[in-house]
Amino acid sequence: MAHADVESHAVVRAEPIAGVYNKYWYNYLADVLEADKELKSDLRRATDEEDKRDAWEEYEHELVDADKDYVEEMRDRNYVVGRVTVGN
């Protein structure tokens, strides 16, 4: 999200689960924006490649955590979280 030139494995949701815009969706977006802000700050302070790698790893971790929290909240409210799998 913060830097398109770096490959990220975490995916930021473009739309809420089941099309439901609720406080959990907005909390998720706030978490993503906070992770983005922290990444930019960490990259500015990075003094070497290891610092940059650490910043990106932390960013990925924060995005995954935000998504897990959001999905859990929505599941607790009986919203189905769809997933499409291609192949094995």
Q: What contacts 23, CB < 8 A, 6 or more positions away?
A: none
Mean pLDDT to the nearest integer, 10-32: 96
Question: Has residue 82 been placed in a domain?
Answer: no
Tokens 């995916």, residue located: 11
C-alpha–C-alpha distance, residues 80 and 74, integer Å? 8
Alpha-carbon Rg for the chain, nearest whole angstrom, is 15
CA distance to 44, 49, 81, 87, 88, per residue, from 84 (Å): 37, 35, 10, 10, 12
Structure pTM?
0.82
Instruction: Give the domain range for residue 34.
Output: 23-76
Q: How many domains does the chain have?
A: 1
For 16, the 3-state DSSP assignment is coil
Tokens 């999905």, residue located: 71
Q: What is the pLDDT of residues 31-73, one digit of tens each?
A: 999 999 999 999 999 999 999 999 999 999 999 999 999 999 9
Question: Has residue 2 been placed in a domain?
Answer: no
